[in-house]
């Protein structure tokens, strides 16, 4: 009797470089600046609020859209930060993480043969999410070394099948951010079209040097055709919670929720109760950027003693460094070697390109304790 066979929907997907590098770091006891999570504790008050919620009996299903009180607080935050009025009942859905929100938005919109413009280097879930829906990723490289969008190339690559543009700001892995001119160009590109936008803004509050976050939420005309995704885990140092949210127009969110209800349905109730109370204090998000910028600046200062060359980082957990003054190895080989020989794990940026474009750049995560960063750089200094 023969067993059933399966044809993979993602035949090119294997073990990610993030898993490879983290496993290698764990095996060798290396300092892991590769994976994007903090090694410092989250806010004690927020922990206490989750405990309080569980003890007060908030342990059953929350509403499929998310806890109403949390959605109301989020709507207030959006109006305060971006001057845009969002209806918490019809425009906000709580999700199990930002990646899930992006997948659900793509699944809501895409049909086989649709094209999606994706800018590389790109977060590793984007292209598999597009392909599993039978759509076609149209890859456009960000312009090295500052990783800005070439809008002339965007216009050239748009076809009648273009269904969506996928944006990410602050950007993973580069730390680049959208500017006001980018929004002007985006508006011109999508005007009078049937093109949707998926905006990944999970690092919304982690933007530095006084640069304003050009959230799609600032622009009601763009929000009408957009899904905007966020993560509580990234900004509140609790990535293991896997809790985020998506915001869109009422019409698009209705369709988003049709997909959501038969997949996740409901998210962790005690965390939602806790966040709803926690976020009433605006300092809980206004103080995030100065805190993480302090870690970025501390890491930059330490790295001046190395032979690595920094590329600008205006947001996120990450900073890219060129190593061309050290070696002409491929970035993957270089990242593996410094993990084995010097005990510091980084991520090769070629992993964020489908075709493995190699500019001799690696990504370090600076969302770590100062002693962790110091220990890493003490080792990186030895690389000649």
Give the whole-angstrom CA distance, residue 71 versus residue 190.
29
The answer to whether the beta carbons of residues 334 and 107 sit under 8 Å apart is no
For residue 6, give both structure tokens: 């399966």
Q: What pLDDT, on a 0 to 100 scale, did the predictor assign at position 127?
A: 96
Q: What pLDDT, on a 0 to 100 scale, did the predictor assign at position 29?
A: 94
Q: What pLDDT, on a 0 to 100 scale, did the predictor assign at position 36?
A: 87
Q: What pLDDT, on a 0 to 100 scale, did the predictor assign at position 225?
A: 98
The answer to whether the beta carbons of residues 216 and 226 sit under 8 Å apart is yes
Q: What pLDDT, on a 0 to 100 scale, did the predictor assign at position 355?
A: 87
Q: What pLDDT, on a 0 to 100 scale, did the predictor assign at position 1?
A: 65
* Residue ranges of the chain assigned to CATH 3.90.1150.10: 17-36+286-380
- Average pLDDT per consecutive 10 residues, the chain (384 residues; last block may be shorter): 84 83 92 91 96 98 97 98 98 97 98 98 96 98 97 98 98 97 98 97 97 97 98 93 97 98 95 98 96 98 98 97 97 96 97 93 97 98 93
Count CB-CB contacts under 10 A for residue 143.
Answer: 13
Pairing of strands 162-168, 115-120: parallel
The answer to whether the beta carbons of residues 136 and 354 sit under 8 Å apart is no
CA 251 vs. chain centroid, Å, equals: 25
SS (H, E, C) the chain: CCCCCCCCCCCCCCCCHHHHHHHHHHHHCCEECCCCCCCCCCCHHHHHHHHHHHHCCCCCCCCCCCCHHHHHHHHHHHHHHHCCCCCCCCCEEEECCHHHHHHHHHHHHCCCCCEEEEEECCCCCHHHHHHHCCCEEEEEECECCCCECCHHHHHHHCCCCEEEEEEECCCCCCCCCCCHHHHHHHHHHHCCCCCEEEEECCCCCCECCCCCCCCHHHCHHHHCCEEEEEEHHHHCCCHHHCCEEEEECHHHHHHHHHHHHCCCCCCCHHHHHHHHHHCCCCHHHHCHHHHHHHHHHHHHHHHCCCCCEECCCCECCEEEEECCCCCCCCHHHHHHHHHHHHCEECEEHHHHCCCCCCCCEEEEECCCCHHHHHHHHHHHCCCC
Positive/negative CA dihedral, 69, 70, 76, 79: negative
Give the whole-angstrom CA distance, residue 28 versus residue 32.
10
Look at the domain 57-280 and name its fold.
Answer: 3.40.640
* Residue ranges of the chain assigned to CATH 3.40.640.10: 57-280
The answer to whether the beta carbons of residues 200 and 102 sit under 8 Å apart is yes
Q: State if pTM tops 0.85.
A: yes
Architecture of domain 17-36+286-380: Alpha-Beta Complex (3.90)
């Amino acid at each position: 009797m023969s067993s059933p066979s399966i044809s993979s929907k993602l035949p090119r997907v294997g073990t990610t470089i993030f898993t490879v590098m983290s496993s290698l770091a764990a095996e060798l006891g290396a300092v892991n600046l590769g994976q994007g999570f903090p090694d410092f504790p989250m806010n004690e008050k927020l922990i206490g609020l989750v405990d309080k919620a569980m003890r007060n009996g908030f342990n059953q299903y929350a509403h499929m859209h998310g806890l109403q009180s949390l959605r109301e607080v989020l709507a207030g935050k959006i109006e305060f930060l971006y001057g845009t009025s969002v209806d918490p009942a019809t425009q906000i859905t709580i999700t199990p993480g930002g990646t899930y929100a992006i997948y659900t938005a793509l699944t809501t919109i895409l049909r086989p043969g649709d094209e999606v413009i994706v800018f590389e280097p790109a977060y590793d879930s984007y292209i598999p999410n597009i392909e599993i829906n039978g759509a076609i990723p149209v890859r456009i490289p960000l312009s090295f070394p500052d990783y800005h969008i070439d809008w002339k190339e965007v216009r050239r690559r748009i076809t009648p099948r273009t269904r969506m543009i996928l944006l990410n700001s602050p950007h993973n892995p580069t730390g680049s951010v959208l500017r006001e001119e980018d929004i002007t160009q985006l508006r011109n590109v999508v005007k009078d079209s049937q093109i949707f936008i998926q905006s990944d803004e999970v690092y919304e509050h982690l933007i530095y040097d006084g640069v304003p976050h050009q959230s799609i939420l600032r622009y009601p005309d763009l929000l009408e055709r957009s899904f905007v995704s966020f993560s509580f885990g990234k900004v509140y140092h609790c990535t293991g919670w896997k809790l985020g949210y998506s915001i869109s127009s009422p019409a698009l969110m209705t369709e988003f929720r049709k997909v959501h209800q038969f997949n996740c349905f409901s998210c962790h109730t005690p965390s939602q109760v806790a966040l709803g109370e926690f976020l009433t204090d605006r300092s809980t998000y206004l103080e995030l950027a100065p805190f993480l910028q302090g870690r970025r600046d501390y890491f930059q200062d330490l790295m001046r003693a190395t032979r690595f060359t920094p590329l600008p980082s205006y947001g996120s957990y990450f900073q890219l460094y060129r190593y061309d003054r050290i070696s002409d190895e491929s970035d993957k080989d270089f990242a593996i070697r410094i993990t084995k020989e010097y005990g510091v794990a980084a991520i090769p940026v070629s992993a964020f390109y489908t075709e493995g474009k190699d500019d001799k750049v690696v990504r370090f995560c600076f969302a770590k304790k100062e002693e962790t960063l110091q220990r890493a750089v003490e080792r990186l200094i030895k690389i000649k």
